[in-house]
Amino acid sequence: MAGAAALGVAFAGSAAVAEEFPTKEVTLLVNYGAGGGVDRTARAVQPFLPDALGQNVIVENIGGAGGKTGLKAFMQMPRDGYTVLTAFAPATTYTKFTDPDVFEMSDLAVIAVMWTDPAILLARKDTGWTSLEDFIAYAKANPGDVTFGSSGKGSVGPILARTLFSDLGLDVRLVPYSGGGETRKAFASGEVMLTAAGAGGATSIADEAVALGLFAPEGSAPDWPDAPSINDQLAAMDAEVPEGGAYRFFAVHSDVKRDYPERFDALVEAFRQTIVDNEDFKAAAAESGVGTDWQGADAAQALIEDVDARFTDILNAEGS
């Protein structure tokens, strides 16, 4: 009887802990600088999450080394559920691929995937190119002349673009920038002729850009309704490249899900309420061009693991 009573007290204590989480500020850690798609993802939910969590939420940017600096910092944070990583695959795959000591996929418990975004290849309008064929013809006739703005070797657009250039034997100069925001500024100002990025994240440079093609089926990017499929265009050349995009997600360390399952569940529910139920959030996200997909924890974990496996194969083939 005493044992049963003690057990009841233990369960009651656990319930009380679950009800009290969070009891302090929650941080959304972005492993890139301000202005890029990952930062925009975090800042889209940040004003609205407190309604669901009952606590203040802040965004902290730790950029550098193509996202690796922020991932390393995240791995050193207390594993208590108060720090939520905001990142995107397959850039996380690239970090893991090039430096396996930073983290493993098993270290992450994905809360949600909020913004899926097919990659798109864009050229400046002043290049005069109106199709992928135009770009390829120019690049072959002028080796080393085309400049490509890269938001990082691990970003999905640059990964797929490098594969395209390599497969077609094109000599394109890669110009690195510290993230998506800086790359878009460079493209808009004319520093580079070409870039590749998530289609939704690239809407801010639409006035300067012509879409050479999607690394996805035609029609999969609502913001670029006339963008053709790259692979449809390559079919005439008997060529094909991998398809993919940016998968922006929220995660905590897997220790949180294992050691504090009620905290993990509370975070999942708070993100669900914000992304699915909060009409003010939806309106603000639509105005800023941020995606509002909902992939809950189980589906999101499976999706990110699948993207990780596919892009690990691509990177192995590329020899990065």
In the chain, % of residues over pLDDT 90:
82
pLDDT given at position 151: 87
Given a cut of 90, is residue 35 above it in pLDDT? no
Average pLDDT of span 126-143: 98
7-116+245-318 and 118-237 have identical folds: yes
Given a cut of 90, is residue 276 above it in pLDDT? yes
Average pLDDT of span 24-39: 94
In which element (H, E) is residue 55 found? none
Average pLDDT of span 175-204: 93
Residue 152, phi-psi category: left (phi > 0), alpha (psi -120 to 50), beta (remainder): left
Average pLDDT of span 120-140: 98
Given a cut of 80, is residue 18 above it in pLDDT? no
**Are the CB atoms for 52 and 280 separated by under 8 Å?**
no
pLDDT given at position 19: 53
CATH class of 7-116+245-318: alpha beta
Given a cut of 50, is residue 14 above it in pLDDT? no
- pLDDT, one tens digit per residue, over 216-228 is 999 989 889 999 9
Domain parsing of the chain, residue ranges: 7-116+245-318, 118-237
Long-range contacts of range 137-145, CB-CB < 8 Å, 24 or more positions apart? 139/165, 139/170, 139/171, 139/172, 140/169, 140/170, 143/170, 143/171, 144/171, 144/172, 144/173, 145/173
Given a cut of 60, is residue 17 above it in pLDDT? no
Q: What letter would DSSP give residue 127?
A: G
**Are the CB atoms for 92 and 71 separated by under 8 Å?**
yes
Q: Can you read off the two tokens belonging to residue 106?
A: 């098993």
Given a cut of 50, is residue 8 above it in pLDDT? no
CATH number of this structure's domain 118-237:
3.40.190.10
Give the angle 307-209-68 at the CA atoms, nearest 5°: 35
- pLDDT, one tens digit per residue, over 252-261 is 999 999 999 9
pLDDT given at position 7: 45
With CA atoms as reference, report the closest residue to 173 among 139, 197, 205: 139
CA 10 to chain CA centroid, nearest Å: 40
Given a cut of 90, is residue 152 above it in pLDDT? no
Of the pLDDT bands very low, low, confident and very high (cuts 50, 70, 90), residue 193 is very high
Given a cut of 90, is residue 277 above it in pLDDT? yes
